[in-house]
Structure 1
Amino acid sequence: MGDRLDYRGRDVWTELAASLGRTYVPEPSRHSGHVRCGPEWSWRFSLQDFDLWLVCKGRGRGAIGDQPVTVSPGTLLVLRPGDTGWMAQDSDDRLTVTFAHFALVAPATGLPVDLPADRLPSRHLRLTDFRAVHEPLLTVVRLMERAGPLALLEARLVFAHLLLTIVCQDAVAAGLAPEIVDPRVQTVMRFVRERPAERPTIQAAAAVARVSPTHLRRLFAREVGMSFRSYVLRSRMEQARSMLCESAMSVSEIARALGYVDVALFSRQVRAYFGMSPSDLRQAR
């Protein structure tokens, strides 16, 4: 029951992002559904695959292995192959559950991946945002009912996002939520990226974020690891590289499109940033 991802690990989110889609992908099963349990319902399980089992209504109790569990609306069980146990419902408050069995398979071969237990979220999780899990889980159930190839592809994509959502909620429950860039900084970053031909001042950006310029400088250094001015330059240079590699515009035209009056200054900044001239950068694509 204690086997779960260690969200305190320095590289846990990087490793998770690298693994999902490369080392393994979720393969949802047609053994999925949304049901209200009958009056005499009980469940003894010995699983051959993974199972997401989400309580929508009602209450119950049971065990996973030798660990007792109670369930109520918002309880999610993330069961693994080989898990055994049982579940019974409160006769006066019958269960309604949404569930989906799935496998984790290698993208290249489609063969099952033996993922260590400490690479998975908790078996017994109390969700912090029920809808964020239930809605995609129900979408997967409906897609698997359709059974067509496009429906299966969509189900796989939705399921991958669903697993990430579950992992994030598991981390929140453990008091170790993933680091998220301050929303004010995200607003400023969008403001800069949407204006590649401009060089917004720190004062203009601070007004967008509704903070003082001094506070925005501190936020940028802490959240992005660079100064606001450096981020503006990086955004313009990334746009310059895209235009050089993906368009037929001349170097002069690109410089003007990015707000440079002096083409020589544009060329010097490209060379300083990428280590090659605009023409060489274009040829190196």
Structure 2
Amino acid sequence: MLARDIEMFIEHCGLKGLSTKTINSYEQTLRLFMQYMDEQGILLTEKITHLAIQGYIKSIKERGKYTVTTNPNSGNYPDRRVDFGKRVSDITINNYLRNLRVFFNWCVEEELILRSPVKKGDFVKVERKPLEFVSDEDFKRLLKSMNSASFSEYRDSIIIQLLLDTGMRVNECLLIEVTDLDMVKRCISLPADNTKGKKARYVFFSDKMATQLQRWIKYKDRYRDSDFLFCTNKGKRIQVSNFEANVRKYAQRIGLNDIHPHVFRNNFAKRFLMSGGDIYTLSRLLGHSSVTVTEQAYLDITQNDLAEMYRKHSPLSKII
């Protein structure tokens, strides 16, 4: 039964120690898919064909955003959203397909089916949008616009600087405890439970950042009692969604659009490469599972970037 197999797969993901966010993504995709299969009268996993997958993708394209839910009584009122019924993006469709492929590959491994009904050709070719880059001037303007007399804004300015200086994911940053810092070696220990790939790693920060962190810790300890390096006004953990909303608010003050916390990780990666850093080291610092992931995600190097990098490493200019 498809419903039983999905439950077994979700349990398997939990035993593997996958993040709650990843498991939720799998479950949401699979329950919507199961609902569609039920409507088609297909209840057995082994009865799902490639044609059924194609039919499901066609239905996603036709139905529009938020028009289907597994829980109509959730109280979220999706029909009140401004984008209700609008076209589902190709990126979202590919995410659905990616989650389905993981599930069916697991089914093959468990010998529940002979082969996956998801084919490589099902994925939609998407033209990659270059990652947002914040100039030195805009970054300085952003920090300057923040009120250092406010606990939350001073805290957020330190977080933003740390994200740019280390390349951490925002969730990793917000989970840091003061004891994770090594001010002598200028590094931060990220426990496996706090990282996306569930692998412990270290990130490193500059001398300038060390000075900022020392000032921040003294300030925080005067007014808040918390083990977290960055905490709410009540000393609790900061939620990623709240910090994201704060960053957008600060960016809007100075007229910057499409700025969110992940932008600073993107900027770290590009600046690292532009400064002569190698992609293998970058991959390790970012906590990627492979260099291939880094290449696919962070090689937004323009012609002007290439020219600047070349000038730094021209063989003749170093000889003559």
TM-score normalised to the size of structure 1? 0.28
Which structure has the greater CA radius of gyration? 1
TM-score normalised to the size of structure 2? 0.25
More strand by share: 1
